[in-house]
Amino acid sequence: MMRRIHHVGIIVKRLEDAYRFYRDTLGLPLVKEATLPDQRVRAALLAAGESEVELIEPLDDTSGVGRFLAKRGEGLHHLCFDTPDIAKTLTALRERQVELLDATPRSGLAGRIAFVHPRASCGVLVELATPSAPAAEPAAPLRLKRLVIGALDVKRVSAMFQSLFGLEEIAMNGGPRAMLAVGRGALLVVPTEEVGGTEGMVALSMVAEDFAALTAAFDRAGTILLRGTGEVTVEPASSHGVHLHISRYGGP
């Protein structure tokens, strides 16, 4: 069983530039920053409620992250689940012949980590992590609400995430969508035709404690966005390739 979405990973060109939006404009507090030589990246975790946002800057154009940036540009890269015992989780997945990128746990910014091959998880790169210390929840003005995933076959992708990671489906009012609970957050699986034909991770949804203060911060920073009643959608040009929807504080 996955306890929560530990973080969502975002590839950026320069960490300092990404800080200006995610830390300074959104107000997400920095939890940890480190250079990871074995992965050839600089990375930082910023708090967003019970979850975090990981910003990842490649240090080498030939690394996996560097190649991702060169091919796809900045944007969403992976999803990380918090699991209580990563060794047991990996053993269970291997016994089910799930394809893994890491057969055994290794050290990472989130603790002891391992990656599931995207082929096993419908094109989504999934990281599993067991943090080295009990989960803390630093005060943050926003919290991660949902990760949106585009799927050619919503039922198949939903069933895969339920089966592999023990997620529970949340009842919705009909329609070709599926919502899966993960801690106090959720995965929203939608048909690809709703998201420009894109498969995999396509958008983040967050909620703001003080929506007026957030919109004032956007105005000061010159953030490019679309405004609605009690919600904004940030253009990827301002959020380093991420389609980001933020609403007033509300339920899950």
Distance CA 27, CA 143 (A): 11
Which among 198, 201, 227, 202 is positioned nearest to 214, based on CA atoms? 227
Query: How does the average pLDDT of the chain come out, rounded?
Result: 94
Tens of pLDDT, residue by residue over 8-27, are 999 999 999 999 999 999 99
Tens of pLDDT, residue by residue over 26-62, are 999 999 999 999 889 999 999 999 999 999 999 999 9
What are the chain's domains? Answer: 4-130 (3.10.180.10), 142-248 (3.10.180.10)
The residue-averaged pLDDT of 90-116 equals: 96
Helices (H), the chain: 15-19, 64-72, 86-95, 154-165, 211-221
- In the predicted structure, residue 205 carries a pLDDT above the cut 50: yes
The single residue listed with the structure tokens 């929506």 is 211
Confidence of residue 84 (pLDDT cuts 50, 70, 90): very high
pLDDT given at position 137: 72
Tens of pLDDT, residue by residue over 154-175, are 999 999 999 999 999 998 877 8
